[in-house]
Chains A and B, each alone.
Chain A
Amino acid sequence: MLIFEKSKKGRHTAHHRSEAMGDCSDIPKHFLREEPLSLPEVSELQVVRHYTQLSQKNFSIDSHFYPLGSCTMKYNPRGIHRMASLTGFLSRHPLASLSHSQGFMAIAFDFQEMLKEITGMKGVSLTPMAGAAGEFAGVLMIKAYHHARGEDERNEMLVPDSAHGTNPASAAMCAYKVKEIPTDSQGNLDITALKKAISPKTAGIMLTNPSTLGLFEENIQRVAEIVHEAGALLYYDGANLNAILGRCRPGDMGFDVMHMNLHKTFATPHGSGGPGAGPVAVNERLLPYLPIPMVDKQNDHYHWLTEKERPHTIGRLSTFMGNAGIIIRAYLYLRLLGREGLARVSEYSVLNANYLRKRLQQLGYTLAYPERRAAHEFVLTLKREAKEFGVNAMDLAKRILDFGCHAPTTYFPLSVPECWLIEPTETETKEELDHFVEVLKDLRREMKETPEIVRTAPHTLPVVRLDDVKAARELDVVYEWAH
């Protein structure tokens, strides 16, 4: 029910402003409305209840087990938000003078240094304002590198079928032709196919490691050799960095350039669509091309690096220097965890994923890659259940909502039929994981005995099963009252 529907003519809430503040007598008459605003007429308590009840309908990481994982939203420690909300951070204007910005710039500089350490790279720019912007910057740097060497004929970007969907999109944005490389039966990049696809026209390859299948690319060194021998570069998509934090580094694996999603791995709150932050890190080869501005330090004084100091830069990607609020939060996250804490993040995220993986296998669920240890996430294929019981991956995902578990990613990666991609993250306790296992245990019985209940789920939520096709084809989000 909309708050407008609760409106009763003449009902109102006491004024919270003094008469003096509300004095509008100096506004010329011809600027004043003739009709009152069409606002809901409700009491204060009605307003409080209405919005409290709305907030209680949220199905979120603050209230429920949420196996979408770091790729979407992991838990963001509350203390970080509190510290990042200090007036000194919030009130700093991006056009403030250098002398008034030294505190923030010190954070940005230290954070650049920390990211270099974490990634094993030689240079970092914090400017890109989202993961996709980071990818775009990274691919542009690859392009600038080849251009500087007079190798403009390199117009192809290789992308494995287990990559993130944004990778081919970013390559296409930079006018590269995308060539897809298949995955072998063990979930690794198919080396034979790679060798066949690579040529003097190859500009680079974009990889996520661990891949979207939740598997560590076992042949990464071999891949790096093949790609570098051909004169091409390796791009690392940092979406799954959560799995390797503090344990191994893309720079050491042979990658030339990468982006990180601060809003995912480094725990800053975001909704789909932002705000995000996608810093890029590069090795020596690409250092001159990093987007500006970056922060430099001389004699304990911080200053911006711009076009003047960095003539070969690919340029600016945002009005100022990225999403300052996100950068501060990510910095605080690293400071709270420290080196050892950071390694514990990946250890626990991998441990939690493998614990769930094993328990679900014992219940009779089918793993997409049963012989491979998972990284921070793993893939189930529910095609057997779909065949035997007539309930598909989406039905099961909807049904677990009734038991207080958010659905995992469904139907992705595309290469695995009827799949679930499950990522519990490092912050879930064993009790929470066991609860999820119990739910899926009960569900196996339900699939056999009463599949109809699963097919028509959810049953207990404020919104029941939606008509996906109608929603996509005839989207109408305007309330009937307003038509």
Chain B
Amino acid sequence: MNRVPAELRYTQTHEWVRVEDDGTVVIGITDHAQAQLGELVFADLPDVGVKVNASDEVCVIESVKAASDVYSPLSGKILEVNEDLEESPSLVNSDPYGDGWLYKMDPADPDELSELLDADDYSHYMEEDED
């Protein structure tokens, strides 16, 4: 079974969001998403400093099966991207909630966070999606 850490928030498009102590957020794709995609071979990350809206396509990640878009769960400004993925995109597979994070951002609207799924909702959503 794919892991769904309780402390994170999720989207129906299989991204996760972690809120840091300083109010910034870290974003990645879920264990379920990486398992569906298979081993990643390339991650095209956004430019630092760019402002994005929630549900904008911000990254393209490419596995041996397909290239997929990653949608930003929140609006805000991109602060940092995970440079390690350039050399080792498969970090997303081996550690999707840790070293395989995609980008950090400064969220523009704290209310958007409450619209995201919590771990229970996301687990239910995945089960329904399976059938």
Which residues does A use to contact B, with CB under 8 Å?
Answer: 394, 410-412, 414, 417, 468-469, 472-473
Contact = CB atoms under 8 A, between A and B. Distances in A.
B66 A469 contact: no
Contacts of B41: 468-469, 472-473
Interface in B70-115: 89-90
A-B CB proximity, top 9 nearest = A468-B64, A472-B41, A411-B65, A469-B39, A473-B41, A411-B66, A414-B66, A469-B41, A469-B64
Nearest to B68: A414
21 contacts: A394-B65, A410-B65, A411-B65, A411-B66, A412-B66, A414-B66, A414-B68, A417-B36, A468-B39, A468-B41, A468-B64, A469-B39, A469-B41, A469-B64, A469-B90, A472-B41, A472-B42, A472-B62, A472-B64, A473-B41, A473-B89
Contacts of A414: 66, 68
A53 B28 CA distance: 49
Nearest to B130: A383
Nearest to B64: A468
A417 B35 CA distance: 12
Nearest to A393: B65
Nearest to B65: A411
A289 to B, nearest CB: 30
B46 to A, nearest CB: 16
Nearest to B39: A469
Contacts of A410: 65
A468 B64 CA distance: 6
Contacts of B65: 394, 410-411
Nearest to A473: B41
Contacts of B68: 414
A417 B66 CA distance: 12
Main secondary structure of the interface of B (DSSP, over half): loop
Interface residues on B, range: 10 to 19
A472 B90 CA distance: 12
Contacts of B66: 411-412, 414
A217 to B, nearest CB: 23
Nearest to A474: B41
Interface in B31-55: 36, 39, 41-42
Interface centre among B36, B41, B89, B90 (most CB of A within 10 A): B41
Interface of B: 36, 39, 41-42, 62, 64-66, 68, 89-90
A367 to B, nearest CB: 15
Given A414-B68, A473-B89, 18 more contacts: A394-B65, A410-B65, A411-B65, A411-B66, A412-B66, A414-B66, A417-B36, A468-B39, A468-B41, A468-B64, A469-B39, A469-B41, A469-B90, A472-B41, A472-B42, A472-B62, A472-B64, A473-B41
Nearest to B40: A469
Nearest to B37: A411
Contacts of B42: 472
A475 to B, nearest CB: 10
A394 B105 CA distance: 36
Nearest to B67: A165
Contacts of B36: 417
Contacts of A412: 66
Nearest to A413: B66
Nearest to B90: A469
A394 B64 CA distance: 10
Contacts of A468: 39, 41, 64
Contacts of A394: 65
Interface centre among B62, B66, B89 (most CB of A within 10 A): B66
A412 B68 CA distance: 12
B25 to A, nearest CB: 24
Contacts of A411: 65-66
Nearest to A411: B65
Contacts of B89: 473
A321 B22 CA distance: 61
A278 B65 CA distance: 27
Contacts of A473: 41, 89
A265 B65 CA distance: 26
B62 to A, nearest CB: 8
Contacts of A469: 39, 41, 64, 90
Nearest to A469: B39
A452 B41 CA distance: 25
B31 to A, nearest CB: 16
A473 B41 CA distance: 6
A371 to B, nearest CB: 16
A469 B39 CA distance: 7
B42 to A, nearest CB: 7
Nearest to A414: B66
B19 to A, nearest CB: 28
Nearest to A394: B65
A412 B66 CA distance: 8
Contacts of A472: 41-42, 62, 64
A77 B68 CA distance: 38
Nearest to B57: A178
A412 B65 CA distance: 9
A34 B62 CA distance: 49
Interface centre among A412, A414, A417, A473 (most CB of B within 10 A): A473
B100 to A, nearest CB: 15
Interface centre among B39, B62, B68, B90 (most CB of A within 10 A): B39
Contacts of B39: 468-469
